[in-house]
Amino acid sequence: MAAREMNKILVTGACGQIGSELTVALRKRYGGENVVAVGRMTEPTIPELRETGPFHMFVDVTERSVLEMVVKKYNIDTIYHMAAILSAAGEQHPQLAWNVNMNGLYNVLEVARERDMVRLFCPSSIAVFGPETPQHDTPQETVLLPKTMYGVTKVAGELLCNYHVQRFGLDVRGVRYPGIISSETPPGGGTTDYAVEIFYEAIKHQRYDCFLREDSVLPMMYMPDCIKGTIDLMEADFASLQHHADFNLAAFSFSPAELVAEIQKHLPGFVCTYAPDFRQAIADSWPKTIDDSAARAEWGWEPAYDLPAMVADMLEKLGKKYEEGKI
Ligand code: AKB
């Protein structure tokens, strides 16, 4: 496939945890006017989203005509499709998760195919794995038998994206994100959300009641690495990719107890209690550590942050926001 330039970019789910910081990073890289941000319902938590380039609310990816209208209006040739219902929300609303994650994805792929777009980013998740998958150093090619609706849609989504690559020559790329930790926009509806909530509660109240057991180890990543990995994969040479929409991606893994111990190095008075809820079963079905050697070999993936560096940076950033009365 000959390399073509990405000129006009659309970010769906731009008000979400990853979408919001990704939009800002893409605008810095490619110019504000060239990155159109759309969201379904929520107002952006990052003011720059409105200030630094085009932003539209009420763009629901399940409504193909609305999606087509925005794509035509801005002559979009590249999409970062970040809109999704995550694992915990998906268990509460499985029909909604199917509709947004499958029908929304299908609309994006079909609009891109019909308009011969340059490239698409359609993220997957560690939720594609299930209890039958090896839990340590989970291989790139392995058993994909998820037990959540979110996981079901992510497995089907990976297959659908890879199908579009092979059948139609559409350049679709994606990674299996671990839990993402960030200081700008809080996550919503995920099983790994505790690893963000804990920082807000530690700073504001010195206490947190965790909805996972203290020994539940899960793969995680800090947002700067998530953004870098996403953009690096999209800028990689197509010819060097043997995989497309399903790259394993890892940075570090930890349990709630390990995260608490790291936070306590900075805030010795911080206390965490544990009251596992329905999200525990989801966490128990996911791997503990991930083998991301395919991403490293095919497009040079390498994370910069480990657990201590992430914790220090999160506490500094959120501590500042707290002093300024912003959280
Ligand atoms: C979730 O917890 O559902 C997400 C994910 C791992 O994809 N953060």
Instruction: For the chain, give every domain's residue range.
Output: 9-179+221-248, 182-220+252-288+304-323
Q: What is the pLDDT of residue 41?
A: 77
Say which CATH architecture domain 9-179+221-248 belongs to.
3-Layer(aba) Sandwich (3.40)
> Are 245 and 165 spatial neighbours (Cβ–Cβ below 8 Å)?
yes
In angstroms, the CA 249 to CA 219 distance is: 9
Q: 87 CB less than 6 Å from ligand 1?
A: yes
Alpha helices in 101-241 (DSSP H): 104-114, 149-168, 194-205, 223-235
| Cα 86 to averaged position of ligand 1 atoms, centre (Å) | 6
Q: What is the pLDDT of residue 296?
A: 98
With pLDDT > 90 as the criterion, what percentage of the chain qualifies?
94
Strands ordered across the beta sheet of 119-121: 55-56, 35-38, 9-12, 78-81, 119-121, 172-173
Q: Determine the atom of ligand 1 nearest the C-alpha atom of 86.
A: 3
Q: What is the pLDDT of residue 42?
A: 76
Q: 153 CB less than 6 Å from ligand 1?
A: no
Q: What is the pLDDT of residue 1?
A: 46
Question: Which of 80, 150, 222, 305 is flagged as catalytic?
Answer: 150
> Are 63 and 103 spatial neighbours (Cβ–Cβ below 8 Å)?
no
Q: Which of 189, 176, 151 is nearest to 41 (CA)?
A: 189
Q: What is the pLDDT of residue 44?
A: 80
Q: What is the pLDDT of residue 6?
A: 77
Q: 179 CB less than 6 Å from ligand 1?
A: yes
| Cα 264 to averaged position of ligand 1 atoms, centre (Å) | 25
For residue 190, CA distances in Å to 32, 94, 226 come to 30, 14, 16
Q: Within a 10 A sphere around the Cβ of 327, how many other Cβ atoms?
A: 15
Q: 19 CB less than 6 Å from ligand 1?
A: no
Q: 195 CB less than 6 Å from ligand 1?
A: no
| Cα 74 to averaged position of ligand 1 atoms, centre (Å) | 31
First-last CA distance in the chain: 47
| Cα 21 to averaged position of ligand 1 atoms, centre (Å) | 17
109-114 long-range contacts (CB < 8 A, ≥24 apart) are 109/160, 109/161, 109/164, 109/170, 109/172, 110/64, 111/64, 111/67, 111/68, 111/71, 112/79, 112/164, 112/170, 112/172, 113/164, 113/168, 113/170
Candidate from 85, 176, 177, 216 with most ligand 1 atoms within 8 A of CB, to mutate: 177
User: Chain-centre distance of CA 208, in angstroms?
Assistant: 24
- Fold of domain 182-220+252-288+304-323: UDP-galactose 4-epimerase; domain 1 (3.90.25)
Q: Which of 321, 285, 252 is nearest to 133 (CA)?
A: 285
- pLDDT by residue, tens only, the chain of 327 residues: 456 787 999 999 999 999 999 999 999 999 999 999 999 977 788 888 999 999 999 999 999 999 999 999 999 999 999 999 999 999 999 999 999 999 999 999 999 999 999 999 999 999 999 999 999 999 999 999 999 999 999 999 999 999 999 999 999 999 999 999 999 999 999 999 999 999 999 999 999 999 999 999 999 999 999 999 999 999 999 999 999 999 999 999 999 999 999 999 999 999 999 999 999 999 999 999 999 999 999 999 999 999 999 999 999 999 999 999 999
Q: 146 CB less than 6 Å from ligand 1?
A: no
| Residues in contact with 195: Cβ distance below 8 Å, sequence separation at least 6, in sequence order | 179, 181, 218, 220, 256, 259
Examine the residue annotation and report whether 150 is marked as an active-site residue of this protein. Answer: yes
Q: Which of 107, 114, 120 is nearest to 11 (CA)?
A: 120
DSSP for 121-143, please give it. Answer: E--EEGGG--TTS-SSSB-SS--
For residue range 144-173, list pLDDT tens digits in order.
Answer: 999 999 999 999 999 999 999 999 999 999
What count of Cα atoms within 13 Å lies in the side-chain half-sphere of residue 76? 27
Q: 190 CB less than 6 Å from ligand 1?
A: yes
Strands ordered across the beta sheet of 252-254: 179-181, 218-222, 252-254
| Cα 72 to averaged position of ligand 1 atoms, centre (Å) | 32
Backbone angles phi, psi at 252, to 5 degrees: -150, 165
**Atom 7 (ligand 1): residue with closest C-alpha?**
125
